[in-house]
Amino acid sequence: MHVVIARCTVDYDGRLTAHLPEAVRLLMVKADGCVAVHADGGAYKPLNWMNAPNTLAIDETGDEAGNEAEDQHETAQIWHVRSPKGEQLTITVHEVLAEMDHEMGIDPGLVKDGVEAHLQELLAADPTSIYKGLRLVRREFPTDIGPVDLLCRDTDGGAVAIEVKRRGDIDGVEQLTRYLDFLNRDPMLRPVRGVFVAQEIKPQARVLATDRGIGCVVVDYDELRGIESDELKLF
């Protein structure tokens, strides 16, 4: 991971346009190519970000007018972050305050609680509870950034990546999106479609999943255990 604390301005051009005026921010470039811009506030969410895969090009520039007045900032770098979809994030770094590179290694992933782990186990035993005709290829199918919960094949032989949560929120959709980015790089698997499965899916998560072509399935834990009649809500 590459981390920079810098005085910068940020411009995004994609499905919409956005501008962040000059301020001190934390810039993060992760090993998978994700670039995130954080402020010292606002909880854990970045002010702006670009998910992998991306290309990052850095232009070293200077004050073309040669003005060295104390009230003027000399531009040190311009970061150009581009996605395959044509989105662009431009970070203009006016002053670098701190910089660090650190190898994070492979993350083992979040340890699921008992209900979530059992839910994954039940769905692996009968993937048709998610979609008719699904058959399991493997639980915890490995990717370079961690394992996706279930990898299945549909009736046409297509690969389906399934992420299972007890409560489905935006972070779970983002997680599955990253897995799909890596899985679709494998010519033996692609195209891989994604399905987000949870006992409850928040409206914002469902909107994001739909925008990214990810299916959403709500399941009932008790019904899967046979306590009530099998029934599932499909969105």
Q: Please tell me the predicted confidence (pLDDT) of residue 114.
A: 57
CB neighbours of 54 closer than 8 A, spacing ≥ 6?
33, 34, 35, 81, 82, 83
- Looking only at Cα atoms, what is the longest distance across the chain? 76
Max avg pLDDT among 29-38, 118-127, 175-184: 175-184
**Which residues face 77 on adjacent strands?**
60, 93
**Mean pLDDT along residues 95-121:** 77
Our CA angle for 74, 88, 213, nearest 5°, is 155
Calpha distance 31→9 (Å, rounded)? 23
Burial zone of 113 (CB within 10 Å; 0-12 exposed, 13-18 middle, 19+ buried): exposed
Look at the pTM and tell me if it is higher than 0.85: no
Calpha distance 78→51 (Å, rounded)? 19
**Alpha-carbon dihedral sign for residues 178, 182, 188, 191:** positive
**Mean pLDDT along residues 114-132:** 86
Reduced to 3 states (helix: H, G, I; strand: E, B; else coil), residue 204 is helix
Q: 208: closest CA among 181, 172, 171, 170?
A: 170
Q: Please tell me the predicted confidence (pLDDT) of residue 70.
A: 45
* Backbone conformation region of residue 43, classed left if phi is above 0, alpha if psi is from -120 to 50, else beta: left
**pLDDT tens digits, one per residue of 185-199:** 999 998 999 999 999
What domains are defined for the chain? Answer: 2-101 (2.70.180.20), 114-234 (3.40.1350.10)
**pLDDT tens digits, one per residue of 14-25:** 878 899 999 999
Calpha distance 158→200 (Å, rounded)? 26
Percent of the chain with pLDDT over 90: 55
Calpha distance 187→205 (Å, rounded)? 29
Contact at 8 Å (CB) between 225 and 186?
A: no
What are the angstrom distances between the C-alpha of 225 and each of 120, 121, 140, 187, 199?
A: 12, 11, 21, 36, 13
Burial zone of 110 (CB within 10 Å; 0-12 exposed, 13-18 middle, 19+ buried): exposed
pLDDT band at 32 (very low <50, low <70, confident <90, very high): confident
